């Protein structure tokens, strides 16, 4: 990974955070970690409309994934997976029905079943529909995925995210994250993006990247 990277996992997972400034949180149907300055999140059942930052908007629907790719990426993983984050300023999150840790200044998180609201950062937008994936391609971003597939994001400053009962971490400045059952939303920052679906694996092998994995898998992020 790189500086300011995050990793999140789910139910029955093991996470080793081997770097400075780490945290753990998350999961099934509702864990949200805001790991950055000036973050906010809000949601309501089956509704989504949050404008948290300058000229930003994001809307999604059940089982959808939305990534706002901005500075300093993020990562999220799935059920029964193992994630080792080997970089500075990393975060890990896990577990069914766990609580919410606010690890940064002026942070807030809120979620609700089947609703998802992400306030991306400056001039960012993302919208999706049921079971669809939308990547907000800001500067130098990229994301692709398919069920049970493997995706390597080979660009600078990338991000990866996954689905079912996933966790959302906001790992950047002035970011927000919100999630819902079976949906994952990460607010990355400048020049980042990557999203995947159920049981898929994504390795981001570039600068300021992140990695996410699937059920019973192990992921080592060995990048800068």
Closest CA to 46 of 140, 182, 141, 192: 182
Q: 140: buried, middle or exposed (CB in 10 Å: 19+, 13-18, 0-12)?
A: middle
58-70 residue pLDDT tens: 443 333 344 443 4
Dihedral class, residue 97 (left if φ above 0, else alpha if ψ from -120 to 50, else beta): left
Measured between alpha carbons, how far is 70 from 64 in angstroms, rounded to an integer?
Answer: 19
Instruction: Please tell me the distance from the alpha carbon of residue 118 to that of residue 174, in angstroms, as a whole number.
Output: 12
- What would the pLDDT profile of 165-224 be if each residue is shown by its tens digit? 333 444 443 344 444 343 334 443 333 344 443 333 334 333 344 444 444 334 444 444
Mean pLDDT of 133-143: 37
Closest to 202 (Cα-Cα) out of 141, 159, 139: 159
Per-residue pLDDT band for 33 (boundaries 50, 70, 90) equals: very low
Give the pLDDT of residue 26: 40
Helices (H) and strands (E) in the chain, counts: 0, 15
């Amino acid at each position: 990974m790189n500086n300011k990277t995050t990793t999140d996992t789910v139910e029955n997972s093991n996470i080793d955070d081997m770097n400075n400034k780490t945290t753990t949180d998350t999961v099934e149907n509702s864990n949200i970690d805001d790991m950055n300055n000036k973050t906010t999140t809000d949601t309501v059942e089956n509704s989504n409309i949050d404008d948290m930052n300058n000229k930003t908007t994001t809307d999604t629907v059940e089982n959808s994934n939305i990534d706002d790719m901005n500075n300093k990426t993020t990562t999220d993983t799935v059920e029964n997976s193992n994630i080792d984050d080997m970089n500075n300023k990393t975060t890990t999150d896990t577990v069914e029905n766990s609580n919410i840790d606010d690890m940064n200044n002026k942070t807030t998180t809120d979620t609700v079943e089947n609703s998802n609201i992400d306030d991306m950062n400056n001039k960012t937008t993302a919208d999706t529909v049921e079971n669809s994936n939308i990547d907000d391609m800001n500067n130098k971003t990229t994301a692709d995925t398919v069920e049970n597939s493997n995706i390597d994001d080979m660009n600078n400053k990338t991000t990866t995210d996954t689905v079912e009962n996933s966790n959302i971490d906001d790992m950047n400045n002035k970011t927000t994250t919100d999630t819902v059952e079976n949906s994952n939303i990460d607010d990355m920052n400048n020049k980042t993006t990557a999203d995947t679906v159920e049981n898929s694996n994504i390795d981001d092998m570039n600068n300021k990247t992140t990695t996410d994995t699937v059920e019973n898998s192990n992921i080592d992020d060995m990048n800068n």
